[in-house]
A and B are shown apart, each in its own frame.
Chain A
């Protein structure tokens, strides 16, 4: 055997040059979301208020946030969808939060702040998380929290620039990061039975510091 001359068969040099690296544009939110929806269910007690305040809700979402919004009557849900011209991907979430806040019980004007500010969020907890109360004690605790004509609640709200919704045994707070501790502290103290005057004095001290 004779070694034949190695003849390297040259690769077909006729291979095509690689195509240029594709330059992709960043994905649009709409594309990113890829048909994402947000669906917020509407509880029965918020049905009527929703009907009343629909335009107030619709306008900022559709106009400012550029999110598609529709009400699914059969399923009793508010549906949100991204539009092609939605500027930011987080808008959808914000809108969903906004609608959710409304459904919880917050006023539109208050909930709108969610759209405007990043740092606001809604916190919810139950009374039984703080202290196990039954029957009359529970009722009394709820009464303590709201105060006569809601004045205790308003006092806390005004002092800390937050909004509070007390729904039976559930408590929802719309607040910013700075005020988490204060509000939660005051509410917990009230649940646990501290007299209102004491809570007030603490609030006063805190707000003086903050202001």
Chain B
């Protein structure tokens, strides 16, 4: 061993001595030396890493990569443990002096233990898993040169399993059994530490009125602590958010011994509490703080106490808030000047929108609009604005149109006409416009008449233009004479107009005998006269042809 050691050191020295750039070129001799050196180093470090699977660096027939991996295998855990230790020493510099490199001796155990016990939770998470897995059973396989580490790690295991995993607490009695029995003092410190933790936890969860805290407290188990916690739970359940000293008392009665053990005389306690409350109610923060500080200093604050403290502090806060002016959101009408800058941006404001929100333009919306447009175009329904017809306020002036065509009359004739018009105004021939006017007036008269007739009761009869026209005796309906319904002209002609004849007419049945006879006689006479006439005609006609012949 010594030889190999020496050889290794020799190799190291040689390596250091070599010319640096020679490393750049592959050199078998140099590689041999470096391998030997690395083996030496590996062996030197081997005692410090108990977990390493390799006892010796294997270099014969191994690749550079493989050798590197072996070294890595050893160095990783070693580095992390070294780091951890350095951290610890950084926190507790005084321990460096205590550090003694001693082979396996029990003397140092105690001290190390003490140190380790008071550690906080700031270890590597990675390490935890390893250690917890191994921790309880894995002590045998340790081959440590440095006693401290082993002991420290053992206590670490204890510490972490106890302090951190709150769930596992119940089981864990093994590793720490011997310690608890021997060192009562340690338990006390442990208790203190646990309480501190609890307080922190409770303060963090003030709002949830300690129930969760109760749960947590439940979980935090140590045999000694359990009693305390149970007590606290009972107290809480009895109190029910009141400063119920009676409740406290009741709880105290239940487990008198424990309560007295820890907190001493109840009477004193209650007095203390009252005093404290009085001072709190006065509302001086400083006094409260002092009291709190005193309480803490006394170090025996029950859960109830703590709750009361919490409640008191809350009350103070609320009273203080009530005295101060409210936040701007609670102030009713607030202008921009009265609130801090940009504060409205952070608040969810709710206000009425007087305008319809802008429509979100999606494809469907545009498609619907386009469809409507197409439909309108096909229909021709454009909703064009039609100008409202302006009522003519005055008679439109006659606009004389310019005549583009060659005038048919000669100039002489035009002047002639002018002269004639001047002389005799009436002889002026109707101008083009006048003719149109006349036609229009005639048409309008006709139309006017019809419209008047339609409005029956304001019937204005046609103005009588005296002209002779033959009236046919035809019933009114046939003529379509538009006369009011009230007036019915059964026939156009009046009876006397219809009547032809003279005098009084009698019916056949009305006649007397003489009259009848007279009628018959008249008829006969007429008939005879007519017959004579006919005869005369015939004779004449007869005579002519005779003459003709003759």
Contacts and interface: CB of A to CB of B under 8 A. Distances in A.
A185 B413 CA distance: 25
Contacts of A147: 404
B219 to A, nearest CB: 106
Given A204-B400, A208-B400, A211-B400, A154 B412 contact: no
B410 A109 contact: yes
B262 interface: no
Interface string B313-355: 0000000000000000000000000000000000000000000
A110 B413 CA distance: 8
Contacts of B406: 150, 154
Interface in B378-416: 397, 399-400, 402-407, 409-416
Interface string B397-440: 10110111111011111111010000000000000000000000
A64 interface: no
B402 A116 contact: no
Q: Which of B397, B399, B400, B416 is most buried by chain A, counting CB atoms within 10 A of its CB?
A: B400
Interface stretch (A23-31, A34-42, A70-78, A156-164): A156-164
Contacts of A120: 411
Interface in A81-140: 107-110, 112-113, 115-117, 120
Contacts of B411: 109-110, 112-113, 120, 161-163, 174
A110 B410 CA distance: 5
A113 B410 contact: yes
A58 interface: no
B410 A107 contact: yes
Contacts of A162: 411
Interface residues of B, number: 18
A207 B416 CA distance: 19
Interface residues of A, number: 29
Q: Which of B407, B409, B411 is most buried by chain A, counting CB atoms within 10 A of its CB?
A: B411
A203 interface: yes
A159 B412 contact: no
A112 B403 contact: no
A152 B403 CA distance: 9
Contacts of A151: 404-405
A62 interface: no
Contacts, number: 62
Contact of A154 (B397, B407, B409, B410): B407
Contact of B399 (A154, A159, A204): A204
A125 B96 CA distance: 134
A177 B415 CA distance: 13
Contacts of B400: 204, 207-208, 211
Contacts of B416: 116
A178 to B, nearest CB: 11
A101 B397 CA distance: 38
Nearest to A147: B404
B403 A158 contact: yes
Interface string A160-177: 011100000000001000
Nearest to A208: B400
Nearest to A210: B400
A163 B414 CA distance: 11
Interface string B369-383: 000000000000000
Given A204-B399, A208-B400, A211-B400, A109 B413 contact: yes
30 contacts: A107-B410, A109-B409, A109-B410, A110-B411, A110-B412, A112-B410, A112-B411, A112-B412, A113-B410, A113-B414, A116-B415, A120-B411, A147-B404, A150-B406, A151-B404, A152-B404, A154-B405, A154-B406, A154-B407, A155-B402, A155-B403, A155-B404, A158-B403, A159-B403, A162-B411, A174-B411, A200-B402, A203-B402, A207-B400, A207-B402
Given A116-B415, A152-B404, A204-B400, 9 more contacts: A110-B410, A110-B412, A113-B412, A150-B406, A155-B403, A155-B404, A157-B407, A159-B403, A208-B399
Interface of B: 397, 399-400, 402-407, 409-416, 418
